[in-house]
Amino acid sequence: MLKNAFSKRFKFKNWPKTNFPALAAGIYVIWDKQTLLYVNTAGKDLDKAQRSGKTKFGLVTRLNGHASGRTGGDQFCSLLANRIIIPSLTSTQLNKFKEGSTTLDQMTKKYLRTNLEYQYLVVDNFQDAIDLDGHCKRGAIFEQKPLFNPIDQEN
Each residue's pLDDT, cut to its tens digit, for the chain (155 residues) gives 688 999 999 999 999 888 899 999 999 999 999 999 999 999 999 989 999 999 999 999 999 999 999 999 999 999 999 999 999 999 999 999 999 999 999 999 999 999 999 999 999 989 999 999 999 999 999 999 999 999 986 54
Residue 61 within a domain: yes
Length of the chain: 155
Q: Identify the CATH number of the domain in which residue 30 sits.
A: 3.40.1440
Residue 102 within a domain: no
CB–CB of 49/10 below 8 Å?
Answer: no
Count of domains for the chain: 1
**Distance separating the N- and C-terminal Cα atoms of the chain:** 23
Handedness of CA 150, 153, 6, 73 (dihedral sign): negative
Q: Cα separation of 74 and 94, whole Å?
A: 23
Whether the pTM exceeds 0.85: the reply is yes
